[in-house]
Amino acid sequence: MKTIRWTLEKAKLVKEIRNIDFERVASLIISNNIQDIRDVPNRINQKMFILNYDGYAICVLFVTTQNEIFIKTAYKSRKLNKKMRGEL
């Protein structure tokens, strides 16, 4: 398993603004609770995990190397949440 890392400043900001905890996100990734992995269209070498976070779809943008996954940011997605619930 690759090491999962992030910056403390970004984690604090995302927690305050979006109420998403990177520790919990890492736990979901480690336990393989991943709905999907997609390429990020406008970001070269970036991908996103789609996770079910408290019953809501979130996108977790990350970059990866041979040894680690580096979380860039996370946000809630209404569109993906509707897809996850079968409304689209």
> Which sequence spans correspond to the domains of the chain?
3-82
Q: Global pTM? A: 0.92
Question: What angle do helix axes 8-18 and 22-30 make, rounded to 10 degrees?
Answer: 100
Residue 72 corresponds to which tokens in the numbers above?
């860039």
CATH number for domain 3-82, candidates 2.60.120, 3.30.1360, 3.30.2310, 4.10.860 = 3.30.2310
pLDDT of res. 88: 61
Q: Which residues contact 16 (CB under 8 A, 6 or more apart)?
A: none
* pLDDT tens, per residue, the chain with 88 residues: 799 999 999 999 999 999 999 999 999 999 999 999 999 989 889 999 999 999 999 999 999 999 999 999 999 999 988 887 887 6
Bridge partners, residue 68, by sequence: 3
